């Protein structure tokens, strides 16, 4: 006969409260991932809106989409909080590191929005692209995406959910790659892809997430899968936006448009991501501090060399007449209405003296990729052991 054990009422309340919080965690994570993914998509729409229409009001459709996306991410993060949830405590509530980081990003965006309203009233709408409020908003965007990525990593490590726990980490990593490209979209035109500064910037920004994905992902080709998410999301924007008619609403109009202007074609991150997966997951590496730097050196070298070789020739294709179609949106055919550019410059590479891709700039890109790969190894190891 089984002996019954009396459980104190307080412990029963804590148990059932923890179960209730756990039941909200998975829908909250889905909502957080949905809102975080909507941020770079809305920003791409906003970029096309500004380049096509020009009237950039507070409640413009792309801005409204950004507000909704951030609100969804915030609601998802709030749903993951609980009184007995393992994690960091703030007042009576507990939550994971990613949850609190997301909520901080939401609060930072609201503050940056108020800051921007004051800034525009004081200095006007044409106060520069990277003015202080815009920098604050960009930091909040990355905080929200990084928070969602961390939450998905913790869910993956706890094996929560067959699909969300396994692939949410990769989807969030793909969205992070999209956000990185959105922030640097004006410098990612094919016309700039024969300059040394372009490859130095790409090696230092894309290498850490690719390496972290390869280290912390549970899928065999984690970095490759995330890069496929990045390409699929970006290509959908490139292909869908031109289907909607639009025209410039402000002067001067140097490039007449009758449809939404697509952003430039995405970068070929799939090949360096595939090389990173093959290098970090296809070989058995011993532990140790010196071996970590060896891995970073090899991974950084591979990422930089593969990306430079593939993107260099792909840029030539994007500026040729063969890419002047709906699929690749290249050939120098899509430009913002306010940009005064000659026919020659549309299909030419823009390089200045001292900014050519030569031995020095290639070496600089490789060194930056090595340092970034070391950062990616650290971040990947941290996310691999993340449980909350």
pLDDT for 25: 67
Average pLDDT over residues 331-343: 92
Give SS3 for 171. helix
Average pLDDT over residues 212-241: 95
Q: Does residue 265 come out as left (phi exceeding 0), alpha (psi in the -120 to 50 range) or beta?
A: beta
Average pLDDT over residues 47-72: 93
Q: Say yes or no to pLDDT of 384 above 80.
A: yes
Residue with tokens 């920003």: 43
| pLDDT grade for 18, boundaries at 50, 70 and 90 | very low
Angle at alpha carbon of residue 324, lines to 43 and 202, rounded to 5°: 45
356 strand-pairing partners: 195
Long-range pairs, 242-247, Cβ under 8 A, ≥24 = 242/326, 242/329, 246/52, 246/53, 247/52, 247/53
Q: Are 319 and 190 in contact (CB under 8 A)?
A: yes
pLDDT for 347: 92
pTM: 0.91
């Amino acid at each position: 006969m089984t002996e019954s054990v009396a459980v104190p009422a307080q412990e029963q309340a804590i148990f059932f409260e923890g179960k209730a919080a756990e039941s909200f965690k998975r829908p909250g994570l889905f909502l957080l991932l949905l809102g975080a993914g909507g941020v770079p998509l809305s920003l791409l729409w906003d970029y096309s809106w500004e380049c096509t229409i020009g009237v950039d009001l507070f409640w413009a459709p792309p801005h409204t989409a950004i507000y909704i996306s951030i609100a969804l991410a915030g609601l998802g993060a709030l749903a993951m909080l609980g009184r007995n949830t393992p994690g960091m405590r703030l007042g009576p509530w507990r939550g994971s590191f990613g949850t609190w980081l997301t909520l901080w990003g939401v609060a930072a965006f609201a503050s940056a929005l108020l800051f921007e309203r004051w800034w525009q009233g004081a200095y006007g709408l044409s106060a520069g692209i990277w003015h202080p409020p815009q920098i604050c908003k960009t930091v909040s965007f990355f905080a929200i995406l990084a928070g969602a990525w961390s939450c998905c990593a913790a869910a993956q490590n706890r094996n929560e959910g067959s699909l969300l726990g396994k692939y949410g980490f990769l989807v969030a990593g793909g969205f992070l790659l999209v956000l990185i490209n959105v922030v640097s979209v004006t410098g990612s035109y094919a016309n700039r892809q024969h300059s040394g500064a372009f490859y130095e910037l790409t090696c230092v920004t894309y290498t850490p997430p690719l390496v972290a994905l390869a280290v912390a992902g549970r899928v065999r080709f984690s970095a490759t899968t995330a890069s496929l998410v990045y390409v699929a999301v970006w290509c959908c924007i490139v292909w869908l936006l031109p289907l909607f008619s639009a025209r410039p609403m402000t002067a001067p109009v140097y490039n007449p448009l009758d449809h939404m202007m697509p952003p430039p074609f995405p970068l070929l991150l799939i090949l360096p991501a595939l090389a990173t997966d093959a290098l970090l997951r296809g070989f058995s590496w011993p532990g140790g501090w010196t071996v970590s730097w060896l891995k970073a050196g090899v991974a950084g070298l591979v990422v930089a060399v593969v990306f430079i070789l593939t993107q260099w020739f792909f840029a030539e294709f994007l500026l040729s007449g063969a890419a002047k179609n709906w699929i690749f949106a290249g050939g120098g055919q899509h430009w913002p209405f306010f940009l005064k550019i000659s026919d020659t410059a549309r299909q030419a590479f823009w390089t200045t003296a001292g900014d050519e891709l030569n031995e020095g700039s290639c070496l600089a890109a490789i060194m930056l990729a090595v340092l970034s790969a070391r950062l990616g190894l650290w971040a990947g190891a941290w996310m691999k052991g993340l449980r909350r």
